[in-house]
Structure 1
């Protein structure tokens, strides 16, 4: 009997969380022959957010997942670098980026709900069992299996647990009560979706104003605006008046950014959140037959646009190591050894870039910091 066929006779893998990392792992593990059960707390399996920027390394990960063509068709992609502009929209420089591999875009974007819809469809098509409106309240490691109890009172027996339940992971708190939690990094990120004018044919970055912002195409018709605001301490943002605050922050801009600002009104859906990050130490990535992946172990800020990418990479590497090792904890250790430094690079570099923005370092210094981190991420996983 082949290894993949023998997996079908084993207890299923329990995946906690139906986000990008959890779905990516579930798809790959199911394709490799494992039975998989995903439990997701949201009964409607919704996703919030505006657009998501996709970098070359993230496209590479999505290609390994088998969704590159779908991603390109549903989103927006370019084969050239971004454009630097001054606040009035006048271009001052084009970034001379090149594809990291001949068949990959340099960068692009997609609406986060569209990516979620794509991944959730592929998850179900892969034969994954999905339970919505359900959480695991506790589970016990029996050495060769895991016994889990759920919020509806039901129980189940599983081969092992993959926790991909986000930056504020309940699984992390359950496994490691003393683990660090996400810490505020001093900035808020604002996002809003707008109609894409023809001239926004790639990512545009606007510099020289008190705040930094950008425009990212996410489809033939849409783009999203992002803005980073330095805020020393976390504060509550009133959703009803968020559009007015964003308009005030965009006051120094004209051109395409000014057009987005002028279109803001009470019906505009403005996404704003404090930027928080956490990197768990190596010895808290897994425990026995339970492992944390994605934001549950390494939540980052968006400065390198790599959070989704490294979550998909986690899924790819974890399935590879599970196929190489018959012993589950040995596979988890191999995964941790492969992933820790790369994820640390993303988290620590992103936080450092945000700190540099708060300290108003020179554009040359900022550019060098970003270029160094981006060059390191070109290495394959």
Structure 2
């Protein structure tokens, strides 16, 4: 009996040793797996570089993301690590579609947190003060990444889609920098710029000087566009506005070169000649009274402010000095002297 108990006890000891060895092996494996997992979650993704992006399509799921990352060779980590990270962060079912920047040093944890928060990559498009609508269309067409829907549409078609009266879109888009994301279209951006201009114009009109001699907000938009094209020094905008408004009040023609240039269209070669001033177009303020029928450019907020808050004074003329600024004069005689000084004697 005694030997039998020895044999039974030895078997238990062997079994216990095997269990301990298996537990130790499992613990060691779990330790290594946990260590590798911790290293994975905060290690930079492969391929992260300036300008690199990841586009996560609508309708894609978490497994699609992991597959996409592996196909793009952005990760070699086993799938279980990605599944565990998704569960740990609680984001597996709430990733937002869009375009994401793969900045240098970006880790899997940071990528998933960005995607769960919808921190999609934003691009920026700037509408420049004084652009014409034609220049705006050219710039939009050249903006890589925007969905292009406007080519083939005429200006009047675009105006109708935006509910712009008379089908004339010139002037109706606020110069500003607009953020956009992958999937937005050129029309989406135009729509936002148009809404911004309507709001800015409404505010300028509501806060206008009480004795402003303009009848409608649209007249403010037209005048502001001329001020925009005439101004080289920001501080002169209200003075230029005052000159034009006094000329309108005294029924004098505006006689401003930028309106002539706009009416010339593609015929303008960088020079304006006497015959151009004498050639009638709807925008030629040397041959026609009052304001032109449409704006001639996209005015910025400062031009709108100047058009609704002109400087007081008696000046009716101004001439360029050649450095961006102007000489202002109350009489034709003083103006002619300024022309002689700054224009006719210019080498």
TM superposition score normalised by structure 2: 0.24
Larger RCO (alpha carbons 8 Å, 6+ apart): 1
More strand by proportion, 1 or 2?
1
Which of 1 and 2 has greater Rg? 2
More helix by proportion, 1 or 2?
2
